[in-house]
Structure formats: C-alpha cells, structure tokens
Amino acid sequence: MELLRTLVLSVAVLGTAMTIVAYLTWIERKVAARFHNRVGPYYVGWPHGWLQPLADVLKLIIKEDLRPRRADALLYELAPVLVVVPALFGFALLPLAPGLAVLDHPYSLLLFLAVGSLALLGIFAAGWGSHNAYALLSALRSVAIAVSYEIPMILALLVPALLAGSFRLDDLVQRQTGGAWFIFAPVLGQVSFVVFLLAMLAEANKSPLDVVEAESELIAGYNTEYSGVKFALFYAGEYAHTLALCGLAATVFLGGYLGPAFLPGPVWLVLKSLALFVLVLWIRWSFLRVRIDQVLRLNWRFLFPLALANLLLAAFFAVRTR
Amino acid sequence: MAEAPLQVVERDFGELAMHMGPQHPSTHGVLRLTLRLRGETVVAADPGIGFLHRGVEKLSESLGWEQLAPVYERDDYVAPTFNSLGFCVAAERLGGIQVPRRGAWLRTLTAELTRIASHLVWLGTWGLDLGGALGGGTTLYMYCFREREKILDWLEAHTGTRFHTNVNLIGGARYDLTPELARSARVLMNGIEAAIPELWGMSGDSSILRDRTRGIGVISPELAQAVGVTGPVLRGSGIAFDVRQAAPYDAYPELQFDVPVRREGDAFARFQVRMEEILQSVRLVRQILDGLPRGPIFTRRPLKNPKASKLPAGEAYAAVESARGELGFYLVSDGSWRPYRLKIHAPSFANLQVIPHVAPGLLVADLVALLGSLDPVLGDVDR
C-alpha cells in the first residue's frame, strides 16, 4: 500500500514537473520576447503559440540521431541520462503539503544537493565523450564552476537549516508558518538568498554566469555534438535543473507550500517556483556574460567569504537564541 | 624517514588545436581562426579568409562603368552605400567629372545614415559576442536593430530600397530629397539621439562589459600603423586619421564634425569611438538637412547602353571613410567602356591583420571580444 502510494505520487509529481518543464521553454521565449519588444512564439496553437513546446519536442524526436565517429560511445550515450535523472530526482524531495513528499527524508536538503550535483558527471561525460574541442573546454569549465559554486550554495542553504535546526525540507517549511519566511530574516535571509541565487545562476548555467554553455565562445558547449532526442534530454535536463533549484529556493526561502488557503499547497509551491524562474529569466536576459576567470573570481573573492561570514553570523544567532 | 619537500608539479597537457569558424556563432560570418590553445589561453591565432570570395575585382573587368556601382554594394553588406560611393568618387576623379553640390550633399546624407545603421549593427552583434544569443546580448541586439530599422525604413521611403540603396552615381546622386522626407529625417535623428543613452546604458554603463573589454586586445599606435589598421580601430589607438578630414570628398569640406579619438587602444576604446561617431553622424545629418543646397543632383544621366559610356585612359585612386575605415578604389582605365583593372582596399581586411599580433595571451572569451571590436565584415574582407 505504501509502495502504491509512492508510485502514484511520483508519477503525479514527475508528470506535472515534466509538463511544467516543457512549458518553461515557452514561458522563457515569451518573457525574452517581451524584453526584446517582440511577440515570441505565436503561430503554433491559438492563443500565443501554446502548442510550440509540443511541436519542438516532436521535431526533436523525428530528427536524426547522430554520433560522431570518434566519440566515446558509452559516455556519449549515457551523458544525457546522467544529466536528466539527478535534475528530476530533486522534485521527489520537495514537500508538497505537510508531511507529503515523494521521498521524505530526515536529511532531504543535503540529499537534494548531493544528487543534484551528480548532473555534473553527465555534463563532463558529454563534453569529454564527444571528442570535440569546444565540448572539451566546456566540460573543463563545468568542473571549475561546479567545484567553486557548490560551496557558497551549500553555505547559503545551511543558514536556514541552522535557524530551523533541521535538514528536513518539511521542517524548514513548517518553521516558516505565519509568513515568517526565511527571506524576511533580517540580513541573514537576504544575504543567503542572494548568494543562493547567484550560485544557482552558475549551477543552472544561466547568463550572466553561463560560461559552461557560452555559445558565442563555445558554440553550444558540452552538447555541441548532440542532436535529436539526446539534445532534447539535455535541454529538458537544464530546465528541470533550474526549476528544481527554483523549487528548492521557494521551499527554503519563500515558505514552500505555505500560502493563503484559497489555493492548495502544491499550487503555491509551483507559483513561487515560477516566480523565481521569471526572476532568473529577468537576470538572464538583461546582462552580458561574465568571463570564465571573472566568474571564478566572483565566487572565491566575494560569494564564498560572504556566505561564510553569513553562516558565522547565523551560528551566532542560533546559539544566542537557544 | 624525512618527509620529502612538497613539490608542485605542473603537468603540461600540450596544446589544443582548434578551428574557430568558418561555422561559428562569433566569427561574424565565415572567418576561420586557427587557434592553438594552452588551456583556454590563446597561444597563436591565424585568421583564414576567402570563404566568401566572389571575385568582385575580376568581375569589374567585364562590366561597364555605369553597371558597376550596384555590384560593390554587395561587398560590405553591413554598410553598402560606402562601397558604391568609393567607386563613384574614384571614377569621378579618373574622368574629371564634377558632382553638383546638391548631389554631393545627398550622397553624404545617405553615407552618414548608413554609418549610423552600420555602427548599430556592430553594437548589437558585439552584444551577441559578449552576451550570447541566450542572454542579455540578444536584448542589446534587438534594441540596436529597433533603431536601425527606422533608418532602413527611411531609406526605403527615400530610395525605394531598404538596404542596397544604390543612390550613388558617377557624377551625382540618383534620388532627390522631398521636404517631407527631410522632415521625417529630422524626427529620425531625434529618435537616434534619444536612443543612444539607452543603448549606452545597456552596454557602456554595464560593469560586465567594462570588465570584459578594458585592456583587452590593446593595439599600440605603432602596431596600428605598422599593420595598417584603419577607421575606428585606428582612432581607438590614438591616431586621429579620418579620410573625411584627411582627404575630404563630397560635402565634407563644408561640414563641421569632430573625429573621436581614444588613446587606450583596447576594445573598450574602439567601442567608445564608434558610439561617439554615431552622435557625430547625427550632427552631420542635421547639418545636411539644414543647409542642403538647391540645384541639380547629377550631371551625367546614366545611359541605357553601358558600352556607350566611357572614361578616359589613366589611373586614379580615391578613398572614402566607410563605417569600417579607409575604403579605397584604385582604377586603371584603358579608355574603354569598362575598367582595365580595379583594386579595392578593404578596411575590414586591413583591420583583421592585427589578430595574430594581439591575440596571443588572450582567453577564448577575450578573442571573441577582440574580434567583435574590430568589426570585420567578411564580404568586405573577401570581396
């Protein structure tokens, strides 16, 4: 019975998540178009081209699936899966209602981060396995980015965990009842949110910190050689990763499923995640790209010390209020 | 057992050869840079050209003088009018043909509008180089193209063609300006002037752009002169050379304008020079609209039969300041209806020559910023 419940829940969460991910591409194109004084997708499906994501998926499925002759077959074929699965796993950990998550784990916050960073393996496998100079450079960059930006991201998330005294995401949400969202915690909340947001841009590979996929330098980075379904998987993986991180930020900083009762909890979670996603898009479509060494410098000289100081401050408060 | 002293071993992974282009988002067309990389640092960069060679110079030997001007508009396909203008000025010099004042002023008007349009394209594409098609770069690109679109609309109203306007004739301008068009041109200039602070705010005011372009791709004045770079690239290196001042043609002797110069020689200096040139062009267009003389616009009506129109035997060189620099035409005539030989000095070609000198030591990302700041148009390079 427990197994059946988990199965039904995971199918529901996965289905919803994948649908939203598909429509994130449409949302992104619409939002970007607004920034550009354009209209965006319009003709495929009335109104406003709402069938465009479906058409895109269909197109990618019927495209030829190529593999470069000198590519490492195993790594090349495995990489898209390695990217998508960890990204989707994150959704299983997000609490949808009090006590309701596909996987309710006492250390779900840490589990989220641990599994989420496995996506790096997929990106590196793709870059290394493609036998392409651009993909290789992108793979090297992705390792450098992940190694440095994981640290401030975790440090930023430790602050709410420290204040709540738990690593369980549901506990973190419960601590924020009554509008006491962590982002409203004076100084601590805002600093850790900004640090998390910047780290998320780098992790999810969004401009201005999208050096891994910097297409004006590296064409398409690690997925240069991919086509068809495998490219679609990378694409879905990237958006799923972003959405999962937005969901995590909504859960940790914005009270997750909490909200006025006229909407059910999961809807609030989705709405908050989407709001964060639009914020990411706003940043993404406004700034030029930072150079790779400047991205790393930003982390080591600014984000990392800031996150560390913030954590120390939080520890101080946590001890005093105990 | 004594502990061995800690040794830092730097492994040399050797060099990575990379062909950047001819199919690459940031090589502005079909340039191929053969790179040798150590990590991400460029050790050597060798520009390979010729992928867009269309044999225009050879083609010139089989077309009549009257037929040629439109052909050259396809060379530099971002600022087309300068190409035909350069040819017409050279042919007039060869034939000793006088251009009526109104015609000369009208040609200058189109040229300056095209310069603004070309610099807007440059800024937008440089944004793509620096910001990527999936990021803020596209936003800058779209804003630039919004302004450029207005210029093209005006040119369409003036000449019937949005882009390859074909206004320049040997001996004058093809289309006259109506009072309504002059009025709308004034409105257009006000719009451009108002848009510059906005574009500047998206580019020059951005600390990301400053950090990425200051001190990148520095071309010293000595190198600039040794290699023979021209146009905004030369003026970004502190040398105030502008054909419009050094060897004025058409209406320029009668117009007031400044030549923006920067000493730094880096990518940001070239950016500043071009941004100021847009404002100078606005100033020039306004002067032309204010003081446009009356009279005929051309002396020689184009003949239906190209073989009937001949230029005297001899040689002539004339250069115009295109959006990219000194665009020169060297003509040799044997007195027949077509050129005996014709050579184009292309500014983009001259500017590309600095890449092997400047690129070593840059990162791949800087190389993209450098290449964009040179503003090469491959149609102009390869001809």
Domain locations in chain B as residue ranges: 16-382
Cα B276 to chain center, whole Å? 15
> B312-321 pLDDT, tens per residue?
888 999 999 9
HSE (side-chain half, CA atoms, 13 Å) at A250: 31
* Interface contact B25, partner A, CB < 8 A: yes
| Contact predicate A93/A112, CB 8 Å | yes
pLDDT band at A177 (very low <50, low <70, confident <90, very high): confident
Summarize pLDDT for B137-193 with one digit per residue, the tens: 888 889 999 999 999 999 999 998 888 888 888 888 888 888 899 999 999 999 999
Beta strands in chain B (DSSP E): 16-20, 32-38, 41-48, 168-169, 172-173, 314-322, 325-333, 341-345
CA distances from A24 to A19, A275, B249 (A): 9, 12, 56
Bridge partners (DSSP) listed for residue B21: none
Report the pLDDT value the prediction gives residue B8, as an integer from 0 to 100: 52
Going by C-alpha positions, the residue among B329, B339, B3, B133 that lies closest to residue A289 is B133
The DSSP letter of residue B254 is G
- Six-digit token string for A186: 């004076």
For residue A282 the two structure tokens come to 């706003």
State the pLDDT at residue A116. Answer: 85
Residue A139: Cβ-neighbour burial (10 angstroms; 0-12, 13-18, 19+): buried
Instruction: Pick the residue of A37, A130, A216 with the most B CBs within 10 A to test the interface with B by mutation.
Output: A216
From the number of C-beta atoms within 10 Å of its C-beta (0-12, 13-18, 19+), residue B198 rates as exposed
Cβ-Cβ pairs closer than 8 A, A with B, add up to 108
Contact criterion met (CB below 8 Å) for B177 and B109: yes
d(CA A117, CA A203) in angstroms, rounded, equals 9
User: Exposed, middle or buried by CB within 10 Å (0-12, 13-18, 19+), for A144?
Assistant: middle
Q: Which residue in chain B has the smallest CA separation from A215? A: B132
Q: Output helix, strand, coil percentages for chain A, rounded to the nearest 5.
A: 70, 0, 30
Q: What is the pLDDT of residue B187?
A: 93
For the cut 90, the answer to whether the pLDDT of residue B121 exceeds it is yes
* pLDDT confidence of residue B151: 93
Contact by Cβ (8 Å): B96, B190: no
Asked if A289's CB is within 8 angstroms of B137's CB, the reply is: yes
What pLDDT digit, counting tens, does each position of B9-33 carry? 555 667 888 888 788 887 788 888 8
Q: Is the CB of residue B21 less than 8 Å away from at least one CB of chain A?
A: no
CA distance B119 to chain A (A): 19
Give the residue among B316, B279, B6, B274 at the shortest CA–CA distance from B119.
B274
Tokens 């960069």 -> residue: B45
Using an 8 Å CB-CB cutoff, list chain A residues near B212.
Answer: 288, 290-291, 294
Nearest to A292 among B16, B130, B363 (CB): B363
- The arithmetic mean of pLDDT across residues A101-126, rounded, is 87
Task: Mutate one of B134, B142, B147, B205 to test the A interface: name it (highest A CB count within 10 A).
Answer: B134
**Residue A258: which pLDDT band, with cuts at 50, 70 and 90?**
confident
Quote the pLDDT of residue B235: 92
> A103 near A118, Cβ under 8 Å?
no
Percentage of chain A lying above the pLDDT 90 cut: 13
Q: Give pLDDT, residue B17.
A: 83
Fill in the amino acid letter for A186.
Answer: P
* Cβ within 8 Å, pair A291-B363: yes
**Tell me, what's the pLDDT at B82?**
92
What residue of A is the nearest CA neighbor of B364?
Answer: A217
Amino acid letter for position B26: S
Cβ A217 vs Cβ B26: under 8 Å: yes
B chain contacts of residue A134, beta-carbon cutoff 8 Å:
18
- In angstroms, the CA A256 to CA A174 distance is 9
Query: B97 pLDDT exceeds 60?
Result: yes
**For residue A260, what pLDDT is reported?**
82
Token pair of A74 as six digits: 């195993």
**Contact across the interface for B136 and A288, Cβ inside 8 Å:** yes
Confidence tier at B278 by pLDDT (50, 70, 90): very high
Instruction: Compute CA distances B234 → B29, B195, B243, B251, whole Å.
Output: 22, 26, 12, 23
Instruction: For residues A77-91, give the mean pLDDT.
Output: 89
Structure tokens at B29: 């067309």
Alpha carbons within 13 angstroms on the beta-carbon side of residue B323 total 31
Residues of chain A contacting B137 with CB distance shorter than 8 Å:
216, 288-289
Task: Mark yes or no for CB contact B368/A216 under 8 Å.
Answer: yes
Chain centre to alpha carbon of residue A42: 27
Phi-psi region of B310 (alpha: psi -120 to 50; beta: other; left: phi over 0): beta
The residue-averaged pLDDT of A126-130 equals 88
More confident residue, A279 or A117: A279
Q: Yes or no: say if B48 and B23 are a contact pair by the CB < 8 Å rule.
A: no
Burial class (CB in 10 A: 0-12, 13-18, 19+), A21: buried
Residues of B in contact with A288 (CB under 8 A): 127, 130-131, 135-137, 140, 203, 206, 208-209, 212
B168 Cβ contact partners less than 8 Å away, ≥ 6 residues apart:
B69, B81, B84, B85, B87, B88, B107, B110, B174
Q: What is the mean pLDDT of residues B278-303?
A: 87
Q: Do the chains contact at A285 and B139, CB–CB below 8 Å?
A: yes
Asked which of A5-14, B15-24, B257-266 is least confident by mean pLDDT, the reply is B15-24
Percent of chain B with pLDDT over 70: 96
| Binary contact (B363, A210; C-beta < 8 A) | no
Q: pLDDT tens across A16-67, in order?
A: 888 898 889 899 889 889 888 888 888 888 888 888 888 988 998 898 888 8
**Closest alpha carbon within chain B to A288:** B131
Overall fold of domain B16-382? Cytochrome-c3 Hydrogenase; chain B (1.10.645)
Query: Which stretch, A56-60, A263-267, B128-132, B299-303, has highest mean pLDDT?
Result: A56-60
Calpha distance A250→A241 (Å, rounded) = 14
Q: Is B140 on the interface with A (CB under 8 A)?
A: yes
pLDDT tens sequence across A143-160: 888 888 889 999 999 988
Instruction: Take residue B244 and report the two structure tokens written for it.
Output: 């419009």
What is the ipTM for the molecules in this complex? 0.84
Over residues A89-112, mean pLDDT: 86
**What is the full DSSP assignment across A122-152?**
HHHHHHHHTT-HHHHHHHHHHHHHHHHHHHH
Task: Look at phi and psi of residue B131 and say left if phi exceeds 0, alpha if psi is from -120 to 50, else beta.
Answer: alpha
Structure tokens at B36: 């040798």
pLDDT tens figures, A222-250: 888 888 888 888 888 889 989 999 999 99
Task: Tell me B313's DSSP state.
Answer: S
The secondary structure element, H or E, covering residue B68 is helix B65-72
| Cβ within 8 Å, pair A294-B211 | yes
Compare all CA atoms of chain A with the CA of B23 and give the residue at the minimum distance.
Answer: A219
Phi–psi pair at A63, nearest 5 degrees: -75, 160
Out of B15-19, B120-124, B353-357, least confident range: B15-19
- Beta carbons of A52 and A44 less than 8 angstroms apart: yes
Q: Is B325 helix (H, G, I), strand (E, B) or coil?
A: strand
Residues B368, A217: C-beta atoms closer than 8 Å: yes
| CA distance to A5, A102, B173, B314, per residue, from A2 (Å) | 5, 11, 85, 96
Q: In this structure, are strands B41-48 and B325-333 parallel, antiparallel, or unpaired?
A: unpaired
Residue B1 has pLDDT above 50, yes or no: no
Predicted TM-score of the model (pTM): 0.88
Vertex A149 angle, CA A147 and A154, to 5°: 105
Provide the mean pLDDT of chain A.
87
Q: What distance in Å separates residue B42's CA from the closest CA in chain A?
A: 13
Nearest Cβ partner for B135 among A38, A207, A219: A207
Q: Which of A213, A217, A298 to mutate to test the interface with B (most CBs of B within 10 A)?
A: A217
Which run of H or E residues covers position B105? helix B101-131
Q: How many Å apart are CA B325 and CA B188, to the nearest integer?
A: 25
Q: 10 Å Cβ neighbour count for A100?
A: 13
Beta carbons within 8 Å of B330's beta carbon, 6+ residues apart: B90, B315, B316, B317, B342, B343, B344, B345
Neighbour count for residue A7 (Cβ, 10 Å)? 11
Kindly report the average pLDDT of chain B as a whole number: 87
User: Is pLDDT of B34 > 60?
Assistant: yes
CB A287 within 8 A of CB B211: no
Residues 238-267 in B contacting A (C-alpha not used; CB under 8 Å) = none
